[in-house]
Chain A
Amino acid sequence: MQILLALVALIAVFGLAWALLWAVGWGLRRLLGRTTVSPLTFLFVGLTRNWIRTVLTVMSVAAALFLYVALGGVLDTLKGAIQVGSEQRLITRNGISLVFPLPIAYRERIAAVPGVQTVSCSNWFGGQDPNDPHNFYAQFAVDAATYFPMYAKDVEFVEASKPQVQVALAPGVDPALAAFMSEQTACVVGVKLMKKMGWKLGQTVTVKGTIYPGNWPFTIRAVYRAKVKSMREETMFFHWQYLNQMGMGGQSFVGVYHLALSQPERAADIAMQVDAMFENSSAATHTETERAFEAGFVSMYGNIPFVLRIIGLAVVFAILLVAANTMLMSFRERTTEFGVLKTLGYSDGTVFAIVLAEAAVITLGGGLLGALLAKSLVQKFDLAVLPPMRVDWSTVYGGVGVAVLLGAVSALIPAWQAMKLRIVDALRRV
């Protein structure tokens, strides 16, 4: 739908531009009362002179710009991914690395640190789809009574089962979670995951454990939608207590602690205080803001952003060649025509401008087409390991700017040649 709209808009813009050019040319002719043709009409004639070539060039510029903007979109997504996550909350993990757990005993001690409001915990479950191990999605075991209140502003529940029995909910827990809270084997699932797997509310689904062996059945009791970007909609949450009993034999290991702060402005202080407290205990901790924690995952991509930039540059260089080649060919064929124009009294500057304008229209057209197509298509992609793909408008503008610049650069030589052309030389070739 978006693509269609973009295409229609593009055609409309082109149509308008055409009409405008034509109208201006016609108006000028009437106004000046002369039979000379305005430079704008030459632009039009030049572009339609060999329409196959014009279309081919526009398409090749469009293909290149599509790629350039799409790659830029991946970079935007990566850049965006380090800016999600709250700076108001802290995450405490094991100091060595995330794969090591922390003892549950830390919970009370962290909660006692001044400035910490509530503490919740979550464990990475690392389960697989038993039918297709490559069909990855994330599962977390969370302390639901504290976790969901802490993230109340980040998620909303769009579907929920009715509770079998009336239960008293912990303060701050959404009433929609009543059924989930009263059932040990219940889970909460994101809307995108529901759609991807074709699950229904109330269905019992099986997850194959890799860290915690065995097949784990969970019943879907609520479906959430994310209200902020940091929250993925392809995640399954279930009760940490259940994992503790069934998977850890009651050893109560915690993956990470989530800390909501009553004094968020002291976040850095509090993080240091927490880490100092456990510095010499069996498991030293590392505490950072949720945003820094999320950014840590992005930095694991290592050199990939750099590689994408290199590819982007190569693509731009390739367009430059294609565009320059077309301009050169097109104008070489028209040497005689420019000679005639000059004979008729058009100035060097006008001829220069005609050539540049023609190049600009071709590259601008191709650039807009490719960039808008990339913007509308790329955002439909959703990779499980990244936040939803996005393309910033600044990337689109940048891409179109690059295209126009390339057009100008590649037309500069032929435009210069056309300007410096001596009538005698041009007409001798006839």
Chain B
Amino acid sequence: MAIPISYNVRNILHRPAATLTTALGIAFTVAILIGALALASGFQAALLETGSDDNLLLMRKGADGEISSGVTRDAANIIRALPDVATGEGGRPLASAEVVVLTNKPRLGQPGTSNLTVRGVDPEALKFRSRVRIVEGRMFEPGAAEIIVGRRIAKRFADCRIGDKMRFGQQDFTVVGHFEAGGSSFESEIWGDNKVLMPVFRGDVFQSVTFRMKNPARFAALKRELEADPRLGVDVHREREFYNDQAGLLATTIRIAGVFIVIIMAVGAIFGAMNTMFAAVSARTREISTLLILGFSPLAVMLSFMLESLFLALLGGALGCLIALPINGIVTSTTNFSSFSEVAFAFRVTPLAMGVGLVFAAMMGVVGGFLPSLHAARQPLAQSVREL
């Protein structure tokens, strides 16, 4: 027969100080785990949401990012005229040949500088990237030396306020607006008209061409055709996949580092939990002997203490989730070394991360509770009762 669970619950509540300190030790471990996962998924989400599955991104063959790519004006024109490109109002192709460069800017409120992406786009770019929306100021005028700045970097870098001027080459560009893009990495970029930006930067070459597919189902065939076209010399990526790949390296690094940190922390927390459980067992020697004499099997006693340890750990896990929750939405930024430029993103505490945290807490409870429970079940009866 099993020992009632209420016995364990009461036991836990009987020692509030020990319970709370042990649970908090576990809670901090779980909170760090959730924090690391939230950092990684926030970063990944920022990049993932940048792309759309219906858009194709074309770069020069072999280029591993837009910065190292180059697409000629001729190739860009051929691509724009493809029958597979969706068209907008007035039959204009929903395509954007883009100039992508980096500019080095000082951070505000923090020492040092970082690279920001400057993107020269076709006016059509906004039509098939529907999430891009001006939140302050106005859109840049085509043909004018004007730029708009992503909301997330506007407050983090110098020269990004509306009315500020940025100098590229020998030309001053005025910041006329701030835009949002649904939290994607576009929000960490500076956009302007490609016709104005191109001559300032690299001369007659685009870095990438993005277009909306008329029929997304034709992706595989289209990819084959375009990559085989000797006039273009491009690799074809789904926009979403491309940005996901860009996130892969850093997100994986954060996850691995986070798990590494957490495993060591967990070792410490497990030792702490073992201490508490050993103390719980030794303080209750008489009770346990009594239970055994009453006829509860050693296995039932062991299970009962394992359960107690599990409760304790889950309590800690739940506390850890609570501690980690407030970091949800905090914006931080770092350089994505895949694109060599700054990406600002928000921590994302996902239900999955919290689930992982709870499962991890439960594991800590089971591992930490095993030896003390075994100890409890193997109580030398005669001796314990004699001590009464």
Contact = CB atoms under 8 A, between A and B. Distances in A.
B267 A284 contact: no
Interface in A61-80: 61-64, 66-67, 70-71
A385 interface: yes
A62 B17 CA distance: 23
B57 interface: no
Interface in B34-83: 35, 39, 60-65, 67-68
A296 B113 contact: yes
Interface string A44-67: 000000001100110111111011
Given A97-B103, A213-B61, A318-B268, A301 B334 contact: yes
B334 A302 contact: yes
Contacts of A59: 267-268, 271
A96 B101 contact: yes
Given A318-B28, A325-B21, A63 B112 contact: no
A99 B101 contact: yes
A295 to B, nearest CB: 7
Given A57-B271, A60-B272, A318-B269, A299 B112 contact: yes
A61 B271 CA distance: 9
A321 B17 CA distance: 10
A337 B387 CA distance: 18
B230 interface: no
B340 interface: yes
A67 B22 contact: no
Contacts of A18: none
Between B17, B25, B68, B334, the greatest number of chain A beta carbons within 10 A of the residue's beta carbon is seen for B25
B290 interface: no
B313 interface: no
A210 B62 contact: yes
A126 interface: yes
B111 A321 contact: no
Given A96-B101, A96-B168, A329-B18, A300 B271 contact: no
Nearest to B276: A325
A85 to B, nearest CB: 15
A211 B68 contact: yes
A60 B275 CA distance: 10
Given A302-B334, A315-B265, A322 B112 contact: no
Contacts of B249: 134
B115 A97 contact: yes
B332 A302 contact: yes
Contact of B272 (A52, A210, A295, A325): A325
A61 B110 CA distance: 34
A322 B275 contact: yes
Given A63-B264, A213-B60, A302 B335 contact: yes
Contacts of B342: 300, 302
Interface residues of B, number: 59
A280 B28 contact: no
A329 B101 contact: no
B114 A60 contact: no
Interface string B79-118: 0000000000000000000000111100100111111000
Given A126-B68, A322-B275, A325-B272, A99 B340 contact: yes
Nearest to A55: B271
Contacts of A171: none
A390 B127 CA distance: 50
A325 B111 contact: no
Interface string B270-287: 111011101100010000
A399 to B, nearest CB: 14
Nearest to B19: A325
Interface in B303-327: none
Contacts of A71: 261
A300 B335 contact: yes
B29 A318 contact: yes
B112 A97 contact: no
Nearest to A126: B68
Given A213-B60, A299-B107, A97 B102 contact: yes
Contacts of B215: none
A317 interface: yes
B351 interface: no
Contacts of B279: 53, 329, 333
A35 interface: no
Nearest to B61: A213
A302 B64 contact: no
A314 interface: yes
A128 B25 CA distance: 44
Contacts of A317: 28
B170 interface: yes
Nearest to B21: A325
Contacts of B333: 302-303
A67 B264 contact: yes
Contacts of A70: 264
Between A52, A56, A286, the greatest number of chain B beta carbons within 10 A of the residue's beta carbon is seen for A56
Nearest to B63: A210
A134 B64 CA distance: 11
Given A300-B335, A321-B24, A97 B101 contact: yes
Interface in B234-253: 249
B7 interface: no
B213 to A, nearest CB: 26
B333 to A, nearest CB: 5
A305 to B, nearest CB: 10
B268 A322 contact: yes
Contacts of A52: 278
Interface in A166-215: 208-211, 213-214
B114 A300 contact: yes
Contact of B28 (A209, A286, A314, A325): A314
B32 A311 contact: yes
A63 B265 contact: yes
Nearest to B335: A300
Interface of A: 52-53, 56-57, 59-64, 66-67, 70-71, 96-100, 126, 128, 133-134, 208-211, 213-214, 280, 282-284, 286, 295-296, 298-304, 307, 311, 314-315, 317-319, 321-322, 324-326, 328-329, 333, 385
Which 7 A/B pairs are nearest by Cβ-Cβ distance? A299-B112, A60-B271, A63-B268, A300-B335, A322-B272, A325-B21, A60-B268
Given A57-B275, A301-B334, A314-B28, 11 more contacts: A63-B264, A96-B103, A97-B103, A97-B115, A99-B101, A126-B64, A213-B62, A300-B115, A302-B335, A318-B268, A322-B268
